[in-house]
């Protein structure tokens, strides 16, 4: 039986490059998928969001990752 190994994936909400990010309601925020602490693919960066939208996306991705890992363990 082949075991699927997950890399250390996490999600970071940050201010988009070149933006000030002072206003949480301005579309200055992005969510990045990090593998072992590094963005491996720019396609894994979603930007042009408010801070609330970015946090919501990061929470959703984290939940889906946790569910997939739990399913793989069973």
- Retrieve residue 29's tokens: 């925020």
**Exposed/middle/buried for residue 14 (C-beta within 10 Å: 0-12, 13-18, 19+):** middle
Predicted confidence at residue 32, as pLDDT, reads 96
Predicted confidence at residue 21, as pLDDT, reads 84
- Retrieve residue 41's tokens: 């693919």
The model's pLDDT over 43-55, given as tens digits with 9 standing for 90+, comes to: 889 999 999 999 9
Please enumerate in sequence order all residues whose Cβ is within 8 A of that of 19, keeping only pairs 6 or more positions apart, or say none. 26, 28
Instruction: Show the low-confidence residues of the chain (pLDDT under 50).
Output: 1-3
pTM score, two decimals? 0.81
Predicted confidence at residue 5, as pLDDT, reads 57
């Amino acid at each position: 039986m082949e075991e699927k190994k997950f890399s250390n994936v996490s999600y970071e909400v940050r201010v988009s490059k070149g933006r000030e990010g002072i206003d949480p309601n301005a579309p200055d925020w992005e969510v990045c998928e990090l593998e072992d602490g590094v963005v491996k693919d720019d396609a894994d960066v979603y930007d042009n969001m408010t801070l609330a939208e970015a946090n919501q996306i990061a929470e959703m991705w984290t939940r889906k990752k946790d569910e997939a890992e739990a399913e793989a363990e069973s």
